[in-house]
Amino acid sequence: MSDVRVRFCPSPTGNPHVGMVRTALFNWAFARHHGGTFVFRIEDTDAARDSEDSYRMLLDALRWLGLDWDEGPEVGGAYGPYRQSERMDIYADVAQRLVDSGHAYPCYCTAEELEVAREEAKKAGRTPGYAGTCRHMSPQDRDQRIAEGRQPVIRFAMPDQDWTWDDLVRGELTFGRDHVPDYVIVRANGDPLYTLVNPVDDALMRITHVLRGEDLLSSTPRQIAMYAALADIGVGDGITPRFGHLPYVMGEGNRKLSKRDPESALLMYRDEGYLPEALLNYLALLGWSMGEDREFFSPRQMAEAFDITRVSPNPARFDLKKCTAINGDWMRSLAASDFVERIIPFLVRDAVIADPPTARQRQVLNEAAPLVQERMETLAQSADMLGFLFADPADFAIQPDQSVADDVSQQVLTAAMESLSPLEAWDSSTIEAALRTALIDGLSLKPKIAFGAVRIAVTGRRVSPPLFESMQILGREESLRRLQLARTT
């Protein structure tokens, strides 16, 4: 299917969220799998809610994730512009043509009249929805409403039929005609609504497949009808896209993950040091399976294997712990040099190293990276894990909640100093042998107690990279200085 054209069309409102990214990923993978085109367009016709900052964040998010688009903002393409705010003349023209052709009509009903009609429908046991009051209005009644100063909306005239389609995810679906009343496509002030601009852009951009969230399922009959009307008036090339409705992403309490949920915020993952490959890997598992119980794969591998029929219609629960675990797996899979380059921005951000790192700092990073790569789950943990290696002697301090002031710890530190000071070689194996002889054999202490006090004195915390290797990297002078400082405080 080399002619496949899919689109990702978010609104620039607020921060990007992981449910939106999952939709982008599935569209991207579908396009790449079939050698098709991934269109990125911005639905920014709601001036009250859209913002330029959100627009920039969307672009930055997709770039950070590596979801490259073939057509769209800053890339261009044959069907631009790709921001709906720059296409308003197109929508106004199409809306008028729909009215002129009888596919749409002006509606003068007030909000109060519509509410009364809804209540009457409920009392009568009918499905609430617009009753078509203005659809067959006489010219005299229309003139009277105009004389009253009413500003009409534009409604699409839904054909009187049931609606059935073969959903790519859910199979055959049918909506009865009573559940799909005439709907508004243009506000009274002339602003076009999603119900118009989305299918118009799909038609003009030759979109062949629409993969979107389950929450939009009920609007599909309206869009199918609109595609037919657009084809009738010569807008686009008559394609009715095939739909696939992706399952909900659920949060805590088995409710739909919303923008208000902390774990939904995409930028949180970037700031906390999740790898984009890992985040996409996890999001792919929310509703899709590669098969053979395989859960570790790259975006490119996902695209090669992507089969829309393997998308489940059932809701998928977002599990932050599993997402973090997959991120840890990805961290461990990186080449050491790649790992170093990825932690540098976080060490710079947290003022641990210079920007750019000095030659000495790079040397320390190259030596220390293998010690922490197996232990870290996010890049943001690098400052806590490695900060002690870069601390200025005047600034180094043991964490306030740690203590080596008790008698046993002081005895350990004295014995450690006495065993390490005479050493001629300063490498991890020599350091370990000296400390084991002095503390475990000499003081008859368990390793946890013996080495725990030394670890706190040297690194400032109870949890750190391997102690002996860390002391080797830190060097004889600074290691002994820190032991002495802890012994005298």
CA distances from 144 to 128, 151, 165 (A): 27, 12, 41
* Catalytic residue (choose from 122, 259, 322, 446): 259
In the residue annotation, 322 being an active-site residue is answered as no
Element holding 185 (H helix, E strand): strand 183-186
Phi-psi bin for 234: left (phi > 0), alpha (psi -120 to 50), beta? left
Q: What b-and-e string marks burial along 140-151, b requiring 16 or more CB atoms within 10 Å of the CB? A: eebeebeeeeee
Residue type, 124: A
CA distances from 476 to 199, 372, 456, 469, 481 (A): 70, 21, 16, 12, 8
421 DSSP assignment: T
- Within its chain, how far is the Cα of 135 from the centroid? 43
**Residue matched to tokens 């932690």:** 343
| Contacts of 362 by beta carbon, 8 Å cutoff, 6+ apart | 340
Residue (of 322, 325, 390) closest to 358 by Cα position: 390
**Residue matched to tokens 């797996």:** 329
Catalytic residues: 259
